[in-house]
């Protein structure tokens, strides 16, 4: 019998809906580290990431009655963390990297050999990217969102997401080659 991932931790979620604080703490303990990593990838600042994660959990617990198991609790919470991170960057007036009106087509590029790159260099390279590029790279490569979803999250078109991703990838490769 196959278990539907959307109902992972359903008992805990339902207990949290009734205000059970020990269930809230248990659910928090299960997800806090993963959500912190998501926030840190977006914000690049430990303190901001910690604040965003705490705010996200507070909002999630306050709005559990809106959670309808259309996704897993973890995916729902991750979306809250990502949205709060993006809103935090907007408040700080950190713009997404500037865009031209046309889309770049980089299909002629030769693909890099991913196995040849050192993971530490890639992580360091991502951390050195401008915030807008880091957002696109994180959403696409690390979080696994497609360009349509990224467009919805960031309030941009999917073609802009694609061109921003290609620019971010190109910039990341430049940074890594300098390391």
Residue 129, domain CATH: 1.10.10.10
Statement to judge: residues 68 and 135 lie in one domain: no
Statement to judge: residues 21 and 70 lie in one domain: yes
- pLDDT band for position 50 (cuts 50, 70, 90): very high
pLDDT at 132: 84
Statement to judge: residues 10 and 65 lie in one domain: yes
Q: Give 8 or 175, the one with higher predicted confidence.
A: 175
Contact 149, 157 (CB under 8 A): no
- Look at residue 136 and tell me if it is in a domain: yes
pLDDT at 93: 64
Domain limits for position 41: 5-91
Alpha-carbon gap, residue 160 to 147, rounded angstroms: 9
Statement to judge: residues 51 and 123 lie in one domain: no
**Helix %, strand %, coil % of the chain (to 5):** 70, 0, 30
Mean pLDDT of 121-138: 86
- pLDDT band for position 103 (cuts 50, 70, 90): very low
Statement to judge: residues 153 and 78 lie in one domain: no
Cα 157 from chain centroid?
18
pTM summary value: 0.61
- pLDDT band for position 6 (cuts 50, 70, 90): low
CATH, residue 34: 1.10.1740.10
- Look at residue 106 and tell me if it is in a domain: no
DSSP-derived letter for residue 113 is -
- Look at residue 145 and tell me if it is in a domain: yes
């Amino acid at each position: 019998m196959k278990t539907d991932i959307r109902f992972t931790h359903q008992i805990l979620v339902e207990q949290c809906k009734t205000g059970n604080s020990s269930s809230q703490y248990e659910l928090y303990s299960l997800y806090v580290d993963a959500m912190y990593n998501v926030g840190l990838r977006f914000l690049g600042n430990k303190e901001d990431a910690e604040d965003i994660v705490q705010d996200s959990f507070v909002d999630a617990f306050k709005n559990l009655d809106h959670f309808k198991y259309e996704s897993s609790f973890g995916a729902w919470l991750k979306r809250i963390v990502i949205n709060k991170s993006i809103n935090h960057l907007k408040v700080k007036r950190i713009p997404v990297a500037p865009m031209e009106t046309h889309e770049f087509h980089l299909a002629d590029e030769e693909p890099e050999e991913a196995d040849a790159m050192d993971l530490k260099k890639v992580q360091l390279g991502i951390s050195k990217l401008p915030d807008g590029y880091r957002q696109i790279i994180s959403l696409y490569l690390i979080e696994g969102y497609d360009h349509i979803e990224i467009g919805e999250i960031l309030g941009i078109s999917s073609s802009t997401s694609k061109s921003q991703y290609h620019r971010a990838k190109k910039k990341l490769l430049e940074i890594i080659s300098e390391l």
